[in-house]
Amino acid sequence: MEKNIVEHVNCLIIGSGPAGYTAGIYASRAGLNPVLYQGIQPGGQLTITTEVENYPGYPDGIQGPEMMTHFEKQAARMGTDIRFGLATAVDFTTHPLKVQIDEEKWISANTVIISTGASAKWLGTPGEERLNGFGVSACAVCDGFFFKGKEVAIVGAGDTAAEEALYLSKLCTTVHMFVRKNEMRASVVMQERVLKQPNIKIYWNTEAEEILGDKKVEAVRIVNNISGEQDTIPVSAFFVAIGHEPNSGIFKGWLDMDDTGYIKTVPGTSKTNVEGVFASGDVQDKIYRQAVTAAGSGCMAALDAERFLGHKGLH
């Protein structure tokens, strides 16, 4: 593949959620003159959430899109060159590193910070997209608090679903848990905890057919996939816990990843297996997946990049 390099930058940041913008803030203050490409979803997953109440510094809470606008403005004020555009390929064979933007131009960079995030997997059930942010959520830790004292539903069968069901059971009166098969994939200990929790009601061999409600979630219609029997359960929220998919496709073959595609970093750092390439946020974190932890890892990536450039005599 011929690469016509049109520009060289000191620090290239790919992605624009809390991790990417925080990396931009720190890299700018360190004089790295970062260039940030926002990707396909400027602002990341927070742009499809409503109220955020668990990010420090916002005592009255804040809407997710508004918070990301604040992050962007701060990164720009510090000097980050923020651009529209999507990274579509990379070549990490030699230094400087090379990244293709929008399948056309190539940029070379002394350092690359990957903050491309992860995308929640969705069911594709009718009503799911329409009511996303209005009772439909892929993060119980983020949004469960808004449904304190209410009845909610959750779908999933793995450890994440079990953890989120247990979390919701502490807040909500009843958690209706739908499992597609007659068994769960979660670890034995997590299954035992779920089964022992009296306000978690498990529906085996059950799928959600439609999420009902006008302007917010009001009920879910389910079907037993063996008997075909249908039922409608009134709920105030519907949580999808069938996993996340890291947005790491273009780095396959270049960076070490786990078996689900999350980029591996050296513990306690943002360093990848390629010198000068750093990963931050949800693309390398499948455990916490919070805005505040993503921002923290964006800070780490910028500091790691600054030290790398210092050691190489490039800063």
Q: pLDDT digit string (tens) for 280-294?
A: 999 999 888 899 999
**CATH superfamily, region 122-240:** FAD/NAD(P)-binding domain (3.50.50.60)
SS3 content of the chain, % helix, strand, coil (to 5): 30, 30, 45
Residue 263 φ then ψ, to 5° = -70, 130
Q: Cβ-count burial of 215 within 10 angstroms (0-12 exposed, 13-18 middle, 19+ buried)? A: exposed
Across the range 182-187, mean pLDDT stands at 91
Catalytic annotation, pick one of 11, 60, 102, 142: 142
pLDDT given at position 2: 63
Which tokens go with 158? 């793995």
Which tokens go with 290? 């919070």
CA distance 16 to 20: 5
The stretches of 30-93 forming alpha helices (DSSP H) are 64-78
Is residue 143 part of the annotated active site? The answer reads: yes
Across the range 159-172, mean pLDDT stands at 93
Burial call 162-182: b when 16+ CB within 10 Å, e when fewer:
bbbbbbbbebbebbbbbbbee
Among 313, 297, 312, 311, CA closest to 13: 297
Report whether 282 contacts 118 (CB < 8 A): yes
Convert the pLDDT of each residue in 212-265 to its tens digit. Answer: 999 999 999 999 999 999 999 999 999 999 988 999 999 999 999 999 999 999
Convert the pLDDT of each residue in 96-128 to its tens digit. Answer: 999 999 999 999 999 999 999 998 899 999 999
Q: For the chain, where do the domains classified as CATH 3.50.50.60 start and end? A: 5-119+244-311, 122-240
DSSP β-bridge partners for residue 9: 109
pLDDT given at position 1: 53
Across the range 153-174, mean pLDDT stands at 94
pLDDT given at position 288: 87
Average pLDDT, the chain: 94
Catalytic annotation, pick one of 11, 143, 172, 304: 143
Domain 5-119+244-311 listed as CATH 3.30.1490.20: no
Report whether 307 contacts 30 (CB < 8 A): no
Catalytic annotation, pick one of 11, 60, 81, 139: 139
